[in-house]
Amino acid sequence: MKKLFVISSILLSIFFSNVHADVEINYEQNKLQHYVSFGDSFIIVLDDKSIWEIFNFKPRSQTWSEWWNGVKVQMDDEFLWKVDDWLTNDKIVVRENYLDEEIFEQLKEYDKKRLRYYGYVLENTSAHKIAFARPIVFQEFTDLFIKYSEDRYSDGHSDGYNEGYCEGKSVGCKDCKSS
């Protein structure tokens, strides 16, 4: 029984590890070649042709006890960035993700869960910003694009249907009020 537990633990740790066998990581300085945003996902392509999904987080809100005691939740400016801070030809350095426990505790719960899948840090030395990243293969990039396209299409279809229905109803029936 003990051997089964040890073997299953090893297999599960290999399965859920952050390292992808099919993605080679280049730790030298690279340049940002392309970037695209799909809703919450921000994808960048470096000059070594590696594709990365990166995200930034927002600091969590103060708890009532922190507010009462005057404790402020503060993040370093390097971790707080906008999409516009990442530009073509910026110098990017890839590093392992060794997140300080103090910083980790300042994150929202959603970001803590998400961060477990991001095993790397991309440092934008041109803009002095840091992003948490995970390497993705081209198929994942394509899947993200398709999912985002379908979501945007269904949102647009829903909005267009509701707007068209209300306008059509108000034109067809002068006594009807559109909401």
pLDDT tens digit sequence for 113-149: 777 778 888 889 998 888 888 999 988 888 888 888 8
- Please give the pLDDT value at position 169: 62
The residue type of 24 is E
Q: How far apart are CA 69 and CA 63, in angstroms?
A: 10
CB 93 within 8 A of CB 31: no
Mean predicted confidence (pLDDT) in 18-27? 57
30 sits in the region (left: phi over 0; alpha: psi -120 to 50; else beta) called: beta
